[in-house]
């Protein structure tokens, strides 16, 4: 579950975003932060445990695996991505294809120096993304909240 500090971090970092992709909706607490700044949010989760009802019409929910979402939908031009699920290299490729040339991505469950993949989901997800984006993007990272890392990506080629 996303902490109050992570919620505030997401709220602040997504403040200038217009179109957001969220992978790993969970209960929808992070979705509430992402939509609070009036962005349109596309959120994907394999489970239907969403409890934050009453969110406005700017939330588009997809209850499926990310692979199914990539195959069935062609949404693009995301300027912000939030990941609170385990992703693989195929997800990273799709994220890079569907985002703007400059975008921010936040990974939740980032615990530096933790070697357990299930505990440090954010660290392993960041590693996948960096290996997919390294050749074509200028990348800067910084931490925030209690368990988040933000990567700013700017296409340089």
CA–CA dist 139, 114 (Å, integer): 22
**Whole-model pTM?**
0.94
| Mean pLDDT, the chain, whole residue set | 92
pLDDT band at residue 103, thresholds of 50, 70 and 90?
very high
**pLDDT per residue as tens digits for the range 65-96:** 999 999 999 999 999 999 999 999 999 999 99
pLDDT band at residue 51, thresholds of 50, 70 and 90?
confident
List the domain boundaries for the chain: 4-155
Length of the chain as a residue count: 157
Contact 129, 92 (CB under 8 A): yes
In this prediction, residue 55 carries a pLDDT of: 60
Assign domain 4-155 one CATH number from 1.20.120.330, 3.40.50.2300, 3.20.20.70, 3.40.50.150: 3.40.50.150
Helices 121-133 and 89-98 pack at an angle, to 10 degrees, of 60
CA–CA dist 144, 16 (Å, integer): 17
């Amino acid at each position: 579950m996303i902490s109050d500090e992570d919620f505030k971090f997401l709220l602040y970092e997504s403040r200038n975003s217009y179109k957001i992709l969220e992978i790993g909706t969970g209960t929808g607490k992070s979705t509430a932060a992402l939509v609070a700044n009036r962005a349109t949010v596309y959120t994907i989760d394999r489970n239907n445990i969403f409890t934050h009802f009453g969110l406005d019409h700017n939330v588009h929910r997809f209850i499926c695996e990310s692979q199914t979402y990539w195959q069935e939908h062609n949404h693009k031009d995301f300027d912000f991505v939030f990941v609170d699920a385990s992703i693989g290299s195929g997800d990273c490729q799709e994220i890079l294809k569907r985002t703007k040339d400059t975008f921010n991505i936040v990974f939740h469950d980032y615990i530096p120096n933790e070697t357990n993949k299930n505990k440090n989901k954010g660290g392993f997800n960041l590693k996948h993304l960096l290996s997919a984006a390294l050749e074509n993007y200028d990348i800067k990272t910084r931490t925030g909240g209690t368990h988040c890392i933000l990567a700013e990506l700017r296409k340089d080629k």
